[in-house]
Amino acid sequence: MSNINKRLLAVFLLFSLIYISINLFSHIQPAESEASSEEAVEATVFIHGYKGTARSFDTLLERFEEQYDWGKRALVCRVTADGKVLVDQLADRHSRERLLVQVIFENNRASFEDTAYWLSKVLSTLHDQYKIEQANLVGHSMGGIVSVQFLEDYSKKPGYPLINHLIVLGSPFAGVIDKEYLLKNTGEGAADLMPNSDALKRLFRHKASFPSDVKVLAIATTGDSLVSTRSVLLLDRIVPKSQFHGQIIASPAITHVGLHESPEVDRLIGEFLWGEND
Share of the chain above pLDDT 90, in %: 78
Q: Which position has the higher pLDDT, 176 or 14?
A: 176
Report domain extents, the chain: 1-39, 42-274
Radius of gyration of the chain (CA): 24
User: What does each C-alpha distance from 212 to 165, 186, 207, 218, 226 come to in angstroms?
Assistant: 11, 35, 10, 16, 30
Q: Kindly report the backbone phi and psi dihedral angles of residue 8, in degrees, each rounded to the nearest multiple of 5, phi listed first.
A: -60, -40
How does pLDDT run across 90-129, given as a tens digit for each residue?
877 655 679 999 999 999 999 999 999 999 999 999 999 9
Residue 7: the pLDDT is 54
What lies within 8 Å, CB to CB, of 141 at 6+ separation is 48, 49, 50, 52, 169, 170, 171, 172, 226, 227, 256
Q: Kindly report the backbone phi and psi dihedral angles of residue 4, in degrees, each rounded to the nearest multiple of 5, phi listed first.
A: -65, -45
E strand map for 15-71? 41-47
Measured distance CA(246)–CA(133) in Å, rounded: 27
Residue 26: the pLDDT is 39
Least confident of 40-49, 51-60, 212-221, 231-240: 40-49
Measured distance CA(50)–CA(109) in Å, rounded: 6
- The mean of the pLDDT values for the chain is 88
DSSP class per residue in 171-194: --TT--S-HHHHHH--SHHHHHTS
| Secondary structure (3-state) at 90 | coil
How does pLDDT run across 179-234, given as a tens digit for each residue?
888 788 989 999 999 999 999 999 999 999 999 999 999 999 999 999 999 999 99
User: What does each C-alpha distance from 236 to 64, 163, 167, 173, 191 come to in angstroms?
Assistant: 28, 18, 13, 10, 23
Q: Which position has the higher pLDDT, 8 or 239?
A: 239
The answer to whether 167 and 145 have CB atoms below 8 angstroms apart is: no
Least confident of 7-16, 43-52, 58-67, 116-125: 7-16
Count of helix runs (H) and strand runs (E) in the chain:
9, 8
Q: Kindly report the backbone phi and psi dihedral angles of residue 2, in degrees, each rounded to the nearest multiple of 5, phi listed first.
A: -70, 160
State yes or no: pLDDT of 254 exceeds 90. Answer: yes
**Assigned CATH for 42-274:** 3.40.50.1820
What lies within 8 Å, CB to CB, of 240 at 6+ separation is 210, 212
